[in-house]
Structure 1
Amino acid sequence: MSAVVQDGRVLRCRISTGRHGALDGPAMQEITEALTKLADQDPAGPDGVGAVLVHGDGENFCTGGNVRDFAGAQDRYAYVHEVADIFHAMQRPLVNSPVPTVAAVRGWAAGAGMSVALACDLAVGGSSTRMRPAYPGIGFSPDGGMSWTLPRLVGAARARRILLTDEVLDAEALSGLGLLASLVDDDGVDDEAAALAHRLAQGPTAALGRIRGLLGRTWESTLDEQLEAEADSIATCAGGPEGTEGLTAFAEKRRPQFH
């Protein structure tokens, strides 16, 4: 079964398999290819993608890589490095996606699963959702960009505490830290995440992509550079079809129909 399915304007990506939610190696390569293609798509086209939904197919979102395979590798350095490279090839286009990304975090997001959840724009969780770095538990340091995304999301001091103590974050803590955009009943996680992804996918795709770009560069930009980028971006939006529809709808006192 394919790990990538387009559902209307939403690209559904299954990153894990099985009851425990092990990271799916073949799926990663399929997802990488699909996410990479988004950079060249026409978001306004009939087959355009307006949002990405990342999910698992078991009780847990994703509990990371196969530790038994790590332990059984003849050359552990070479094997783990190769797995990390494949994982990172998927994480790059996920973080740099031109459209919003949503994670349906049911159950555990541990190790690489936590890295994937942190890489998405918005995560939906349930009362039993848990996140844990998990890497220190097997004597590893993190991969998947966790050491890059986590401090940007929660601050450097909290990131140190979470990573160095291998802290388990429950749903309440995740919500308080802003790592969950919404918290629903466990049975409603998948439906809520899908509804959010479809809602975003019907929005102004180009504008949302520019918002993602502006947010992504803010840590490396000066205020003047950011203001210049914002001026160029908002003017580009105003001169494009989405801005035209938005302004026309405002004048006509109706909801805009971007797609």
Structure 2
Amino acid sequence: MTYQCITSERTDHVLRITLNRPDRLNSFTRAMHAELRDALADLGDARVVVLTGAGRGFCAGQDLNDRAAAPGEAVDLGETVEESWNPLIRTLAEIPQPVIARVNGVAAGAGANIALACDIVIAARSAKFIQSFSALGLIPDSGGSWHLPRLVGQARALGLALTGEPLPAERAAEWGMIWKAVDDDGLDSEVDALASKLSALPPLGLAAIKQIVRTSWSRPLDAELDLQRDEMRRLGFTHDYREGVAAFLEKRAARFEGR
């Protein structure tokens, strides 16, 4: 598939997807949703996904010009959420590969919540996260109302959602909303180093970590302990675990195969 709204490049088990509508701050249209859906459905041998934006911003959310409605005309926003945004958030959560959000600039509305739906967020210090929904009389969709209170607590989640006040990347890191804020000129090297590190680790183990942590909210402690037992048993019989132990004892680099 030839993409018009994104770019997709795979090297060394890392798939880098770039939202590529910089003139519109990478805001989403139906076409961009379709292309991103296609790219995420064909991960091939990728062990890590990096999601970023072209130009000066990460993503400004929904392109309001893409709606087939005149100014002031009613439109079914639930249809857009059901058809496009919800499937995207579910995909980011459910694919086994770790997803790194490289936030290079403003992340607003659904764009901010796409970043928060990724597994690890690294942002440039100049980046800002904006829950811009309240100004339009809307709620934080694209997983926002679920991720925000779990990441920063109810008080801060309500403050961000009700006021729409921009949150600088450095403060987002201090609050635990993102993994790390780095100098703008160090963003690429930081993301590339992390992607390279993750792509060299045992993929089955990383997938299990992602799945068990993301679903732990739904289980009581006893159930979590039982699941930990079962997963350790399963992973302990994999080739990658045996290879990791052998490499450690033999003082050599491990060669993980994902089996």
Q: TM-score scaled by structure 1? A: 0.88
Give 1:61 shift.
0.5
1:234 CA displacement:
1.3
| Preserved CA contact (<8 Å) 1:16 1:55 | no
Paired position in structure 2 for 1:121: 119
- Does the 8 Å CA contact 1:29/1:90 hold for their aligned counterparts? no
Partners of 2:19 and 2:89 in 1: how far apart?
A: 11
The answer to which of 221-230 and 82-91 deviates more is 82-91
Structure 1 match to 2:184: 186
| Residue 81 of structure 1: how far off its partner (Å) | 2.9
For 1:29, the equivalent position in structure 2 comes to: 34
Q: Which residue of 2 aligns with 1:58?
A: 55
Say whether residues 1:161 and 2:152 are aligned partners: no
Relative CO higher for 1 or 2, CA cutoff 8 Å, sep ≥ 6? 1
Please name the residue that 2:79 is paired with.
82
Deviation at 1:237, TM superposition (A): 1.2
Q: Which residue of 2 aligns with 1:17?
A: 21
**Native 8 Å contact 1:95 1:120 kept in 2:** yes
Residue 49 of structure 1 corresponds to which residue in structure 2?
46
Gaps of 5+ in 1: 39-46
Q: How far 1:169 moved relative to its partner? A: 0.6
Identity %: 33
Q: One-letter code of the match for 1:34?
A: A
Q: How does 1:1-259 map to 2 (within 5 A)?
A: 2=3, 3=6, 4-25=8-29, 26-37=31-42, 47-70=44-67, 72=70, 76-78=74-76, 80-84=77-81, 85-259=83-257
- Paired letter, 2:38: E
Q: For residues 16 and 170 of structure 1, what CA distance do their matches in structure 2 show?
A: 23
Q: Give me the whole-angstrom Cα distance separating, in 1, the residues matched to 2:99 and 2:165.
A: 25
Alpha-carbon distance in 2 for matches of 1:150, 1:103: 16
Q: RMSD of aligned C-alpha atoms?
A: 2.0
C-alpha separation between the residues in 1 aligned to 2:232 and 2:190? Answer: 30
For normalisation by structure 2, the TM-score amounts to 0.88
Q: Contact 2:26/2:54 (CA < 8 Å) preserved in 1?
A: no
Deviation at 1:188, TM superposition (A): 2.7
Distance 1:188 1:160 in 2: 32
The question of whether the paired residues in 2 share the 8 Å contact of 1:50 and 1:99 is answered with yes
> What secondary structure sits across from 1:61 in the alignment?
strand
Note the C-alpha offset of 1:213: 0.9
SS of residue in 2 equivalent to 1:48: coil
Looking at structure 2, the residues matched to 66 and 76 of structure 1 have their Cα atoms a distance apart, in angstroms, of: 16
Residue 150 (structure 1) shift? 1.2
Structure 2 distance, partners of 1:21, 1:182, is 22
Contact 1:242 1:258 in 2 (8 A): yes
* 22-31 vs 64-73, greater mean Cα deviation: 64-73
Deviations 1:137-173 (A, max 9, x none): 2222121111111111112222122112222111221
Query: What is the identity, as a one-letter code, of the residue corresponding to 1:27?
Result: M
Native 8 Å contact 2:113 2:144 kept in 1: yes
**Misfit runs of 4+, over 6 Å:** none
User: Residues 86 and 75 of structure 1: is their aligned pair in 2 closer, same or farther, counting only changes over 3 Å?
Assistant: farther
CA-CA distance at 1:106 after TM superposition: 0.9
